[in-house]
Structure 1
Amino acid sequence: MRPFRLALLAVSLAGCVPDAPSTLAPREPSLAAAPGAATLKNTAQPVPWSGTALRDGVPNGEVPECAAVWCDRFDLAIDLPSGAWSNKPGGVEIAVRWSGFGNNLKLYVYRGSARVAASEGIIATAQSVLLPAPANGAYRVYVAYDFDMAAQFGTPLAPEIPYEALAEVEYAPKPQPTRALLPDLQARAQRNVTFDVPPAIFFEAGVPTTSCFPSEIAEEGARLCMRFDQVLANAGEGPLEFRFLLPADPMSQPTGPIEQRVYHSDGSVTSRAGGTWEFHPTHQHFHYTGFALSRLFATDASGKKIGTTPLRARRHRVGTIGAPASTGRKVSFCIVDIEIDAWGEKGDAPRTYSAPACLEPTPGGYLLQGLSAGWADVYDWFLPDQYLDVYGLADGLYVLETVADPDDTILEANESNNCGAVYVRLTGMTTASPHAALLGPGPACSR
């Protein structure tokens, strides 16, 4: 890994848990309970279970991955009807999810002494694997507490991580008619809107008296940053996959083209122009240019959006109702599978795109990034450029909109469902302590 990407990964992980304590109280080691067990008997109903991974649990040592860390074990029997895979390519998906970004678990599946699947990527709240057309029989599922982030980057981790898991049959998209298996990008509702001071991340420390990062102030003229998160999901049949050739010197070649790789139902893969990347020298990483657009609108007394253009957007020139306003493009870093958007639903793929793989060039010198079907990429409020400058705006009710792929550079199945909106109430805007309250889903919107 190149030095600047290794450093980036370190600060990324350190910044993912801004509210976590710097130290954790020691606790008595815990012994493993008897493993849970269940049988997957049909193709329609999943097998759910839950458990808790312990930081200080005694390793059971049953498999190499559990020799030094706690593993929660679940005994899964597969007993599907004969013909379950006849003319229906697919497999059994095994998935686990948890809360608390910055915590991490790993997932392993064994049959006898052989490991048949694993999902180990970091910076996520879910792992998932697919056993292609597995034979009926006994399988062991291990959920391992992950110390890698703490050991390598000093990230504090919780004493225990509760999780939920499931096993279910997933079939591949039907091969006929022959077609492109396209992604379908959708913006999910914001979960946080805040004026809180962001923590140190990407070589930057937050300024104690402002919600803006120094780079946002210096490079973009930000004055009052309303920070928020964005959740961009892929509800399509196929993955969103990008690759781009890394320059030898990103400082002298700061931008370049991106290829979108399109998978087809007959197994073929084609490539097309999918936009551009740019190198951000302050944060020492590569951005996808124009992945999503955020904009803020005023409302009338009934909550109806006023006008057709945003009052203000992230390039920070003040707009007026009905007049063009400057727009800010969300530039994404390291597009990966963060959480399962279609949990317990048919149509989600195993975790395919993860960190740190998204930071490592392929043998041909490409970076490969993407978003699997049924997964979401999450950009938390405390990341750089996750803000709108609301300096000078009055107290009141606003609509915050997010549009995925606003420039239509990505080939996807549905171009009409990319926009999502929430209501936000701003108060104390003329004081030293402004406040933003997230009120819930907003009105229908479009690009």
Structure 2
Amino acid sequence: MVHEQRLLVILLIFVTLLLPVFQRAVAEPCDPNDPRLLKPDLQALTPTRARVVERQGARRLYFTTKIANVGKGPLIVEGKTVNTPFGPVTKATQIVRLSDGTTCTKDAGSFEFHKSHNHFHVNDFAEYLLRKDDPYTGPIVARASKISFCLTDIEPVRGFFDGTRQVFANCGVQEGIQGISPGWADVYDDFYPEQYIELDICRTDGGVPPGQYYLVNVADPDDLLLEEREDYASNAGIVAVTVPPRTGNFPIPTDPACPQPPPSTPTATGIRPTPTATPPPVINPRPPRAPRPPRPTRPPRPARRPGPHG
């Protein structure tokens, strides 16, 4: 009995000592108003190398973008695969550091494998817009919405870099950590796959008219990440661009990835097929040919005489 009591006391002491460790291991959801938070602060820098390229009748606006972290803490996003009724999904979770050394978490959307880049990206990290008249409120004439990013430390940011070493150097794993350190920027060059805005393809209005526009790179457009500043102005990088007219005589090419019209139309009683165009009438149709007479039956051939081999 005494031995069992001693074991119980030792077990209670052991649990009491390890409880804070387990509590720190399971990070709590972040309180956005907690003054201890060392939040990142994303700032989209001015796009560079913006130029319009026309190939086979279609214009594309290419450009280089940079998204910097000018906040007090690093941007850290962790990917972890979970099973759902729709199959496995790689969830993205932001990890925010606090001044007392602990961390908290926030749901940050999802990860997705980017085939053309051959690594995993954080979904909905940026949005590319082409606006008319005003870079903040002007009408959007073209866009490349909800761009996914692989988050890495690519180059130091002038005026914010304090000598912090490069922490996030690659992002080629599905489950792992991506991020941008304070004073560093992630860079997407104009020659990367899908680093452009379509000006003609997938449009039914004949393409973007020639003229003066504003190219806007918006970081975290859906406010999925916890930042020091959540306003649109601080998250937008802007540059004025000139869109020239189409010069070629090629028709605007089609792309199977463009949105297609729905195959059916809902009605009060269910789904009915979309009506098709009435075929044009046939002018002066040919009369049907008369059937051919049957061929005469040939008489049977006489039997062959046996040869030398029987």
TM-score relative to the length of structure 2: 0.60
> C-alpha deviations, 1:39-87, integer Å up to 9, x for none?
xxxxxxxxxxxxxxxxxxxxxxxxxxxxxxxxxxxxxxxxxxxxxxxxx
Q: 1:270 aligns with which of 94, 97, 104?
A: 104
Name the structure, 1 or 2, with higher relative contact order (CA <8 Å, separation 6+): 2
For the residues of structure 1 that align with 2:146 and 2:139, how far apart are their CA atoms?
Answer: 15
Question: Given residue 425 of structure 1, which amino acid in structure 2 is its aligned partner?
Answer: T
Displacement after TM superposition at 1:346 (Å): 6.2
Aligned to 1:310: 140
SS in structure 1 of the partner of residue 66 of structure 2: strand
Q: Aligned equivalents of 1:273 and 1:426: distance in 2?
A: 39
Q: Using a 3 Å threshold, how does the CA distance of structure 1 residues 210 and 288 change in structure 2: closer, same or farther? A: farther
Secondary structure of residue in 1 paired with 2:227: coil
| 1:401 partner letter | V
- Residue 206 of structure 2 corresponds to residue 425 of structure 1: no
Does residue 387 (structure 1) correspond to residue 196 (structure 2)? The answer is yes
Q: Which residue of 2 aligns with 1:342?
A: 158
Residue pair 1:183, 1:413 contacting (<8 A) in 2 also: yes
The answer to whether the 8 Å contact 1:348/1:372 transfers is no
Deviation at 1:246, TM superposition (A): 4.9
In structure 1, what is the equivalent of residue 211 of structure 2?
A: 396
**8 A Cα contact 1:237 1:373, kept in partner:** yes
Letter in 1 for 2:178: Q
Corresponding position of 2:22: none
Matched, 1:225 2:67: no
Residue equivalent to 1:219 = none
Question: Does 2:69 correspond to 1:234?
Answer: yes
Q: In the alignment, is the contact (CA less than 8 A) between 2:82 and 2:91 conserved in 1? A: no
Unaligned runs of 5+ in 2: 1-33, 201-206, 250-310
Deviation at 1:426, TM superposition (A): 1.7
Preserved contact between residue 330 and residue 385 of structure 1 (Cα < 8 Å) = no
Aligned to 2:94: 260
Change in Cα spacing, 1:310 to 1:281, as seen in structure 2 (3 Å) is: same
Aligned residues: 206
Question: Do the aligned partners of 1:246 and 1:367 also contact (CA within 8 Å) in 2?
Answer: no
**Identical positions, percent:** 32
Unaligned runs of 5+ in 1: 1-176, 198-208, 212-222, 315-327, 434-447
| Inter-CA distance 261–330: structure 2 relative to 1 (3 Å threshold) | same
Assess if the C-alpha contact under 8 Å between 1:339 and 1:375 holds in 2.
yes
Instruction: Return the TM-score normalized by structure 1.
Output: 0.42
Match of 2:46 among 174, 189, 199: 189
For 1:184, the aligned partner's letter is D
What residue is the counterpart of 2:25 in the other structure? none
Structure showing greater Rg:
2
SS at match of 2:122: strand
For 1:286 and 1:306, the matched residues in 2 are separated by 31
Offset, 1:269: 1.5
Question: Residue type of the partner of 1:260?
Answer: Q
Task: Tell me the amino acid that sits aligned with residue 189 of structure 2.
Answer: D
RMSD: 2.9
CA distance in 1, matches of 2:37, 2:118: 35
> Are residues 379 and 195 of structure 1, via their aligned partners in 2, closer, same or farther at CA, if it must alter by over 3 Å?
same
1:244 corresponds in structure 2 to 79
